Structure 1
Amino acid sequence: MNFESLRERLAGIVGADHVVAAEFCAPYAVDDKAPRAVVFPADAASLSEVMRLASSERLSVVPWGSGTKIGLGGIPARVDLVVGLKRLNQIIDYEPGDLTATFQAGMLLREAQTSLHRSGQFLPFDPACCEQVTIGGILATNSSGPWRHRYGTARDMVIGIRVVHADGTLTKGGAKVVKSVSGYDMNKLYVGSLGTLGIILEATLRLYPLPAVERTWIATFLTGEAAACAVAQILHSTIVCARVELLSSFAAQSVGRQAGCALPADTVAVAVSVGSISEAVDTQISAIRKLCHQEGAVAGFLVEGSAQESVWRAICDFPSASGDGRSWTMLKASVPLTKVLETIHRAEALGRDLGLESAAVSDAGCGIVRLYWRDETGSPEKDPAAIAKGVEELRRWVLRDGGSLVILSARPAIKASIDVWGPVGNALFLMQKLKQQFDPQGLLNPGRFVGGI
């Protein structure tokens, strides 16, 4: 089918104003591969019809929320059609008394939070790009941030889901109540699948009450070892932390500048937030301050209100907080808690060997370490193959301790030299069988998921 015919048929489904012409599709490119068309359905019926058209014409499809997570995944085998979900942006159902709500996939997280806050509730989602990310993007990538320490992952919040499959079939799983346990928990299958099994249309999510008070203590240390010891003491105490982050020296300085909180130079930082009633928060912050002091903290700061929001936004979205136009190669390592600091040191050493600036932000209570490499100021762009080789070396080191390493975002030239996901063991066979059952033509995000699925 030529582009004019495709555009006419898509316009017949969603209206001409909601189809982007080929010459304007460059902003929707995935790893430099631009689609032939971009379409924005407004409801389940039009999304299903778009997928039926794609299936009949064997067009590959990339679901698109706001594009904040589009760097995740391998280089696509092809990109024919981008299906944008920005018009699917409503709260379908909200039951404050049940602590549940149903959201369309294209709804921005910040708009969802604004609505929930009016009832004193919130979604414990704080991924990168939290001002632009959509509910569907969070679920498709199972993105999480510092709140994961207290509340779990995005997958843990899902209790119901509606999905449009590659052939246009609409299915649903789960329910609108938390304790729905009959049958297989199919709704969790789509979370983290990168849209390769179906396009998430809407999801019913578990909510939480907003804490009456939340405050953050930031402590700085001369060494990573002292900071890691403080984190260990906090984690093994009776303190109920909402977020526990360990920031390398480079990351701490960038976050401090972005948040207007001047941290001492050449120090590693620990940021811990606590939410509860005022008296409980004061008691726990005091305990955190004491533990940090015992482990050699050289400075400490109490942060609350708008300053606290700025600090955590900068931590969650570190690449933007440190942005000056140079792109980061972004990695996520999952390691045992006792290996967090060693992983940071290993990545920094490899970065130095490659002539790259390095930074690290760790959800230290979960063993998640986000690692960042970029070219040094004024230096020529490094060889992509050399960077890929460095990632492979770091991955081999992480795997020795039973961990994993995924590339979150990198230039296409780097991705072309490496498996962005890494080994998945004998589970790959099962994943391939699932893909074959759910998308036998291989139309949804082909080539971007593990094993080239």
Structure 2
Amino acid sequence: MNAIAKRDVAASIAQKLEPIVGESAIFDWEHLPPIWQERINRANTLQNIPSCIVYPHTVEQLKSVITYADGNGWSLLPCGSGSKLGWGGVGKDIDLVISTERLNRVIEHAVGDLTVTVEAGVKLADLQNLLRQENQFLPLDPAYAQQATLGGIIATADSGSWRHRYGGVRDMLLGISFVRSDGQLAKAGGRVVKNVAGYDLMKLFTGSYGTLGILTEVTLRAYPIPEASGTVVLTGKAEATASVTKTLLGSALTPTTADLLSSELVKQLGLSQGIGLMVRFQSVKESVQEQSSRLLEVGQNLGLQGTVYTEAEEGTLWQSLSEKIWQASQEPAITCKIGVLPTAAVTTLTKLDALTSSTGLGLIHASGLGRLRLDSGTVTPQIIGELRQYCESQGGFLTVLEAPISLKQQLDVWGYKGNALKVMRQIKQQFDPKNILSPDRFVAGI
């Protein structure tokens, strides 16, 4: 579509939606803030840039917008703050971006029940500040934590290091409300901690990348903030690191996080050299001190260098780790989500070093799930293919989350080889029969 035609489409969409959301809630491409243009550019080719972005203020407005889009056959790209728009497959023929960023009310915080209900556009950082006033928190450590909304975190199943103790996003999710592709509101779950029988829509929507519906409201399980926290960092030879990790997982120690770090990531964090292991203990003060000392002793007996971080130094360390993996850059780096058998985590990081000449950054949770950050200027599709093949040989997978559009077009972003594609397509057909929600963004072009 040429520039004149795109302007005409944008004007037509804006004219039809303005009575619903108001003039201040619609922006055409030329008037979007640069940060939004950059984020959308990472999701679509220049030939498929959406005409407009709309910010509904209420669920009723969102329902009306989607109803109008359904009736006009407009394809939609849902998002929150847009920080993860570049994840997943390359979108095609998107007419309208719908942001839930202004659906940002806290509905209810049941302090005694340890539950909180919020609209999907609430930012995690803001919610953590609110929960902290009642000595509670959500054990989520996603990418771009200051910008990420709850809806976006759920849609991308982005939990982080705390999953070792608390599980993933779907394990904290108790209830959802969402707008279907035809503009109707639907709900699943509730606002209390209970087991329910039937189709688990919360798990289905977690990691669906906006292809099944647009989340409007979510209820999550909160947790008390532990009394004390301490992080043990062990670095050194790969064999010794693998040995201490195996000992840790087979012991009675109860860490809340346990992450293995590639040698380059260890180097960039200023943590000496070699493969690293970062383990956080959070409990009463005496327990944290005792467990930290025991793990430190085991590591030192195997020849690893060890340090214990507490208080401000610990907070700085974990913040630096997140920034190294997710730091923004002018040209998007290649970030990948991987999974391997836990016993293969260290050898996978060694393989990463070999294929990238020790320039790749790798973080693998002790569970076997992890993240890679690769240099888009030097890493080729062939190298990504070799890394994927290695992960698959270790019982796992490799998914490309973010990368330059040109690179994504040269490979299969998802690399899915399972046997559930038929079921996935049937579910997509049931929830979005006209294929207007995030077309081509999910596995196999769903």
Bucket of the pairwise TM-score, normalised by the shorter protein? over 0.9
Matches within 5 A, 1:62-81: 62-81=77-96
Which of residues 109, 119, 122 in structure 2 aligns to 1:107? 122
Structure 2 residue matching 1:12: 3-state secondary structure:
helix
Matches within 5 A, 1:47-446: 47-221=62-236, 223-256=237-270, 263-264=271-272, 266-298=273-305, 300-320=306-326, 327-352=332-357, 357-363=359-365, 365-374=366-375, 381-382=377-378, 387-446=380-439
Structure 1 moving runs of 4+ over 3 Å:
323-327
- Which moved further from structure 2: 107-116 or 21-30? 21-30
- Which moved further from structure 2: 366-375 or 73-82? 366-375
Displacement of 1:184 in angstroms is: 2.1
Is the CA contact (8 Å cut-off) linking 1:196 and 1:444 kept in structure 2?
yes
Q: Distance in 1 between matches of 2:401 and 2:29?
A: 28
Relative to structure 1, the CA distance from residue 305 to residue 314 in structure 2 (aligned partners, 3 Å threshold; closer, same or farther) is: same
Displacement of 1:255 in angstroms is: 2.7
Is the CA contact (8 Å cut-off) linking 1:388 and 1:418 kept in structure 2?
yes
- Which moved further from structure 2: 238-247 or 21-30? 21-30
Q: Distance in 2 between matches of 1:40 and 1:255?
A: 39
Q: Distance in 2 between matches of 1:77 and 1:404?
A: 25
Is the CA contact (8 Å cut-off) linking 1:172 and 1:187 kept in structure 2?
no
Displacement of 1:326 in angstroms is: 5.7
Displacement of 1:22 in angstroms is: 2.7
Structure 2 residue matching 1:429: 3-state secondary structure:
helix
* CA root-mean-square deviation: 1.7
Q: Distance in 2 between matches of 1:252 and 1:270?
A: 9
Report whether the alignment pairs 1:31 with 2:31.
no
- Residue identity matched to 1:388: P
Q: Distance in 2 between matches of 1:100 and 1:248?
A: 36
Structure 2 residue matching 1:211: 3-state secondary structure:
coil
- Residue identity matched to 1:344: L
- Residue identity matched to 1:267: G
Q: Distance in 2 between matches of 1:54 and 1:92?
A: 28
- Residue identity matched to 1:311: L
Q: Deviations over 1:397-440 (max 9, x none)?
A: 22223211111111111110111111242200000001011101
TM-score, length-normalised on structure 2?
Answer: 0.93
Is the CA contact (8 Å cut-off) linking 2:331 and 2:404 kept in structure 1?
no
Q: Distance in 1 between matches of 2:329 and 2:382?
A: 25
Structure 1 residue matching 2:112: 3-state secondary structure:
helix
Displacement of 1:314 in angstroms is: 2.1
Is the CA contact (8 Å cut-off) linking 2:234 and 2:278 kept in structure 1?
yes
Q: Distance in 1 between matches of 2:281 and 2:433?
A: 47
Displacement of 1:113 in angstroms is: 0.4
Partner of 2:4: none
Relative to structure 1, the CA distance from residue 391 to residue 277 in structure 2 (aligned partners, 3 Å threshold; closer, same or farther) is: same
Displacement of 1:443 in angstroms is: 0.5
Displacement of 1:77 in angstroms is: 1.9
Relative to structure 1, the CA distance from residue 240 to residue 34 in structure 2 (aligned partners, 3 Å threshold; closer, same or farther) is: same
Report whether the alignment pairs 1:17 with 2:24.
yes
Is the CA contact (8 Å cut-off) linking 1:96 and 1:119 kept in structure 2?
yes
- Residue identity matched to 2:28: A
Q: Deviations over 1:326-374 (max 9, x none)?
A: 642112221101111121122222223xxx82121111x2101322221
Displacement of 1:86 in angstroms is: 1.1
- Segments of structure 2 that go 5 or more residues without pairing to the other structure are 1-7
- Residue identity matched to 2:72: E
Q: Distance in 1 between matches of 2:330 and 2:56?
A: 33
Q: Distance in 2 between matches of 1:111 and 1:84?
A: 18
- Residue identity matched to 2:352: A
Q: Distance in 2 between matches of 1:307 and 1:136?
A: 31
Report whether the alignment pairs 1:43 with 2:58.
yes
- Segments of structure 1 that go 5 or more residues without pairing to the other structure are 257-262, 376-380
Displacement of 1:24 in angstroms is: 2.6
Q: Distance in 1 between matches of 2:331 and 2:66?
A: 37
Displacement of 1:17 in angstroms is: 0.7
Displacement of 1:320 in angstroms is: 4.4
Relative to structure 1, the CA distance from residue 325 to residue 44 in structure 2 (aligned partners, 3 Å threshold; closer, same or farther) is: closer
Identity %: 36
